[in-house]
Amino acid sequence: MTEQKAKLEQQLWNIANTFRGKMDADDFRDYILGFIFYKYLSRKMELYGNKVLEPDGIAFSEVEGHPQEVELLDALRDAALDKLGYFLAPSELFSELARRGNAGGKNNFILGETLLTLVIFYLFIFVNLNQLIIN
C-alpha cells in the first residue's frame, strides 16, 4: 500500500508541475489560493443573495435581467456590505466566469474580463478589509 501511495503522490506532483508550467511553485500557490478564496466568497455571496431573495421567490442568479434589477441590486449591495462586508453581482461570481469560460465545450475563458473582475474584487476587499475581518 505504501508503494501505491508513493506512486499516487508522484502522479499528483507531476500533474501540478505540468499545470503550473514554468511558474515558480510559490507564485503558483498564491495564484491558486487567490482563486480558491474568490470561489469561496462567490459561493458565500450567492447563498446570502438567495437567502435574502427567497421571500420574493427570486434566485440571486435571476436578478440581472429582472424588471427591478437596479432596485434589487442596490438593496442586495447594501445588505451584503452590512452583513458580509463585500458584494459581488451575479455576473461577477466565480461560477458565472467559469460557466462562460466553458460555454460550448470550448475554452472561451475571456482572460481580460476575468482579470478585470478579480482586480476590482481584490481592490474592494483590501479597501474594506477591516470590515470583512470584523464580520
pLDDT in tens for each of the 135 residues of the chain?
A: 578 777 777 776 777 677 667 777 777 777 777 778 888 999 999 999 999 999 999 999 999 999 999 999 999 999 999 999 989 999 989 888 777 766 655 555 555 555 556 655 655 555 555 454 555
Is residue 64 domain-resident? yes
pLDDT of amino acid 2: 76
Is residue 125 domain-resident? yes
Cα–Cα distances in angstroms (integers) from residue 61 to residues 92, 96, 102, 105, in the given order: 11, 9, 18, 22
Enumerate residues 6+ apart whose C-beta is below 8 A from 18: none
Is residue 4 domain-resident? no
Is residue 109 domain-resident? yes
Task: Please give the grid coordinates belonging to residue 108.
Answer: 472561451
Is residue 12 domain-resident? no
Is residue 71 domain-resident? yes
pTM of the model: 0.64
Enumerate residues 6+ apart whose C-beta is below 8 A from 21: none
Number of domains making up the chain: 1
Name the residue among 84, 89, 97, 91 with its Cα closest to residue 131: 84
pLDDT of amino acid 120: 59
Domain boundaries, position 116? 24-134
Rg over CA atoms, the chain: 19
Q: 76 exposed, middle or buried (CB, 10 Å; 0-12, 13-18, 19+)?
A: buried
Q: Element (H or E) spanning 82, and its range?
A: helix 69-83
pLDDT of amino acid 114: 58
pLDDT of amino acid 26: 74
Is residue 13 domain-resident? no
Is residue 18 domain-resident? no
